């Protein structure tokens, strides 16, 4: 999924569930921040304090950059929660268990962990992080966050079942755009064979477009039907249940989920059909600000960078460098309570929980 769902729809669902505009903004911003946290590093403060942080996404979100994106600590916990299903005796069982499945038993365990730990100081940020990974199990189903043949895709078809020649040609050009890349692939094929793709790179952004109906041939030639609007609505309903469970477990009042709000969410998921996530987000923003939902009119914002970002809030005017190496940084008294610090606390806690607590229960080791 892209920014329209991770930020816009998540905000709507949080408000529908009874969270205040401020709380909903923290949850939705944290959900989107998972895709925007592309830097890792260590901060050394002037008062001898230090803080280490890690990325939950990559600088170059490019499906051709196989080496850069082949990072289990990023793709598997944050974007492709394993489904733990073995469906084919001819394929390595572990690889199959790593394939993402919607609302899998592992995803449910991750959600339960969030419910149990919502009381922590970074609880709202953790809720956003968990929401991001949870809803991605519907969008990214059938693909794994590793480089493996199970991610290979043959022909792609449109919603009517006709061969999507435009997508097929674009994909071919996309992976062969750079002449140096073509030459490198040609030489490499003699030694190690054909590249295995990572995630849903072979279908590019098709799983992330909420309005799209399509199908494809998987690595074994089987036709897989995809109905993104239906899948996204299932994600919506499960997120609402998730949020209600969080509120119930933490003694927060439960609110009525209005059917007209659900119908509005479904309508917008299907009717906003721009290929660009930012353009789709702008439409969601308009509906949030003009009172299209029962929670009223809200004004909200999200700034991944710049003077209004969480990063700027935590470090004020300190000049950042491209390598994200911080030394001699002035220490603000409220740094420990800053959104940026709480966000990265949530990312670290979430990743450790998934890799070292949840996955080992299913005999999966990717730490």
Per-residue pLDDT at 210: 97
Q: Is residue 97 part of a domain?
A: yes
Per-residue pLDDT at 259: 97
Cα separation, 94 vs 99, whole angstroms: 9
Cα separation, 215 vs 167, whole angstroms: 12
Work out the average pLDDT over 176-194: 46
Judge whether 281 and 7 are in contact, CB under 8 Å.
yes
Residue 153, pLDDT above cutoff 70: yes
pLDDT, tens digit, 9 for 90 and up, residues 341-364? 999 999 999 999 999 999 999 999
DSSP assigned state of 322: T
Per-residue pLDDT at 216: 93
Question: What percent of the chain lies above the pLDDT cut of 70?
Answer: 86
Q: Is residue 352 part of a domain?
A: yes
Work out the average pLDDT over 208-231: 94
Cα separation, 305 vs 325, whole angstroms: 17
Cα separation, 258 vs 265, whole angstroms: 11
Q: Is residue 176 part of a domain?
A: no
Residue matched to tokens 């230090």: 50
Per-residue pLDDT at 358: 98
- Tokens found for residue 38: 């592309």
Q: Is residue 197 part of a domain?
A: no
Phi, psi (degrees; rounded to nearest 5) at 115 = -60, -45
- Tokens found for residue 310: 């969480």
Work out the average pLDDT over 330-350: 95
Residue 92, pLDDT above cutoff 70: yes
Per-residue pLDDT at 107: 98
Judge whether 60 and 54 are in contact, CB under 8 Å.
no
Q: How many domains does the chain have?
A: 1
Per-residue pLDDT at 83: 96
Per-residue pLDDT at 158: 87
What is the separation, in whole angstroms, between the first and last Cα of the chain?
Answer: 25
DSSP assigned state of 319: P
Q: Is residue 292 part of a domain?
A: yes
Per-residue pLDDT at 70: 46
Cα separation, 224 vs 142, whole angstroms: 9
Q: Is residue 214 part of a domain?
A: no
The four Cα atoms 109, 10, 69, 280 give a dihedral, to 10 degrees, of: 150
- Residue 191: band (very low, low, confident or very high) from pLDDT cuts 50, 70, 90: very low
Q: Is residue 48 part of a domain?
A: yes
pLDDT, tens digit, 9 for 90 and up, residues 21-72? 999 999 999 999 999 988 888 889 999 999 999 888 865 444 444 444 446 7
Per-residue pLDDT at 201: 77
Cα separation, 213 vs 161, whole angstroms: 10
Question: What percent of the chain lies above the pLDDT cut of 90?
Answer: 61
pLDDT, tens digit, 9 for 90 and up, residues 250-304? 999 999 999 999 999 999 999 999 999 999 999 999 999 999 999 999 988 888 8
Residue 89, pLDDT above cutoff 80: no
Per-residue pLDDT at 110: 98
Per-residue pLDDT at 321: 59
DSSP H helical ranges for 88-221 = 93-97, 105-117, 123-139, 165-175, 179-192
Q: Check residue 306 and give left, alpha or beta (phi > 0: left; psi -120 to 50: alpha).
A: left
Cα separation, 37 vs 118, whole angstroms: 21
Most confident residue range from 69-83, 213-227, 310-324: 213-227
Residue 53 CB contacts under 8 Å (≥ 6 apart), including other chains? 39, 40, 41, 42, 43, 344, 347, 348
- Tokens found for residue 92: 């390595």
Cα separation, 255 vs 252, whole angstroms: 10
User: β-pairing, 213-217 with 156-157?
Assistant: antiparallel
CA–centroid distance for 309 within its chain: 20
Domain membership of residue 69 as a residue range: 3-146+229-362
Cα separation, 259 vs 319, whole angstroms: 48
How large is the greatest C-alpha to C-alpha distance in the chain, in angstroms? Answer: 64
Q: Is residue 199 part of a domain?
A: no
pLDDT, tens digit, 9 for 90 and up, residues 111-138? 999 999 999 999 999 999 999 999 999 9
Average pLDDT, the chain: 87
12: exposed, middle or buried (Cβ count in 10 Å: 0-12, 13-18, 19+) = buried
């Amino acid at each position: 999924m892209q920014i329209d769902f991770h930020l816009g729809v998540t905000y709507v669902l949080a408000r529908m569930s009874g969270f205040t505009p401020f709380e909903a903004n923290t949850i939705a911003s944290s959900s989107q921040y998972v895709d925007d946290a592309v830097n890792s590093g260590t901060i050394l403060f002037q008062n001898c304090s230090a803080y280490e942080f890690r990325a939950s996404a990559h600088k170059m979100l490019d499906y051709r950059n196989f080496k850069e994106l082949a990072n289990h600590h990023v793709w598997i916990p944050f974007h492709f929660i394993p489904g733990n299903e073995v469906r084919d005796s001819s394929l390595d069982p572990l690889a199959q268990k790593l394939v993402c499945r919607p609302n899998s038993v592992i995803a449910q365990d991750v959600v339960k962990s969030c419910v149990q730990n919502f009381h922590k100081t970074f609880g709202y940020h953790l809720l956003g992080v968990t929401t991001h990974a949870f809803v991605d199990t519907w969008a990214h189903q059938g693909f794994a966050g590793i480089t493996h043949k199970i991610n290979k895709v043959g022909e792609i078809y449109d919603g009517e079942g006709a061969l999507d020649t435009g997508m097929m040609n674009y994909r071919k050009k996309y992976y062969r755009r750079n002449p140096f890349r073509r030459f490198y692939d040609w030489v490499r094929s003699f030694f190690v064979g054909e590249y295995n793709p990572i995630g849903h790179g072979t279908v590019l952004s098709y799983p992330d477009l909420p309005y799209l109906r399509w199908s494809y041939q998987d690595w074994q030639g089987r036709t897989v039907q995809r109905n993104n609007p239906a899948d996204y609505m299932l994600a919506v309903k499960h997120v609402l249940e998730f949020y209600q469970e969080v509120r119930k477990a933490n003694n927060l009042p439960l609110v009525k989920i209005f059917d007209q709000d659900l119908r509005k969410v479904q309508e917008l998921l299907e009717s906003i059909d721009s290929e660009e996530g930012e353009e789709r987000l702008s439409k969601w923003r308009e509906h949030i600000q003009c009172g299209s939902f029962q929670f009223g009119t809200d004004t909200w914002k999200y700034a991944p960078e710049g003077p209004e970002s969480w990063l700027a809030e935590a470090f004020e005017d300190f000049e950042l460098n491209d390598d994200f190496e911080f030394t001699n940084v002035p220490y603000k008294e409220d740094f420990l309570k800053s959104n940026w610090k709480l966000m990265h606390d949530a990312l670290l806690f979430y990743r450790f929980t998934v890799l070292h607590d949840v996955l080992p229960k299913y005999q999966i080791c990717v730490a």
